[in-house]
Amino acid sequence: MVTPAAQRYRHLRRRQLDDLLKPLASLTSMKVPAKGWIHEIRHALGMSGTQLAARLRIAQPSLVDLEQSELKKSITLRTLEKAAAALGCRVVYAIVPPESLEHILATRARDVAVRLVDRLSHSMALEQQEVSHREREQQIKEIVEELVRTLSKELWGEP
């Protein structure tokens, strides 16, 4: 069971993460250059492949492989960081949600709550005990609040 203090901490942490991630939201629409960041930055700096390879202490053909691995998204973060450092840059790594974490959580909780209420409503309808639309929405609202408050394991289970 999650204590009220733990619940408050989780809520506070979500809000802090949302604030931290907000400035990064515009990055989600940024497109990777067609030849990749390493290649494009290298060219913008006037650095040849041979020169970057020497800075990385790798053979020039290995640089071609490295640039290709970036394009294929198979490059490791460690290798990307080394290449960035050799270019006088640094890697900024983040997982950026398309909406606030609070919104993602509320949306998921509503989906789960609707599924639970619909399942219950179906059973009740079979017994001629249907609830009104207003009562249904109230049930959903209460379940959403409970799911968000407790971060129930039901939130992220399979539908």
* Domain range list for the chain: 4-20+99-156, 31-86
pLDDT at 119: 83
Q: Which CATH architecture has domain 31-86?
A: Orthogonal Bundle (1.10)
Give the pair of three-digit tokens for residue 96: 């950026």
* DSSP designation for 31: P
CA atoms within 13 A on the CB side of 33: 12
Confidence of residue 159 (pLDDT cuts 50, 70, 90): low
pLDDT at 126: 52
Among residues 74, 92, 73, the alpha carbon closest in space to that of 84 is found at 92
| Residue position matching structure tokens 């993460």 | 17
pLDDT at 105: 95
| Residue position matching structure tokens 């970036």 | 70
R_g of the chain computed on alpha carbons: 25
Distant-in-sequence, close-in-space partners of 115: CB < 8 Å, separation ≥ 6: 159
Confidence of residue 127 (pLDDT cuts 50, 70, 90): low
Distant-in-sequence, close-in-space partners of 81: CB < 8 Å, separation ≥ 6: 90, 91
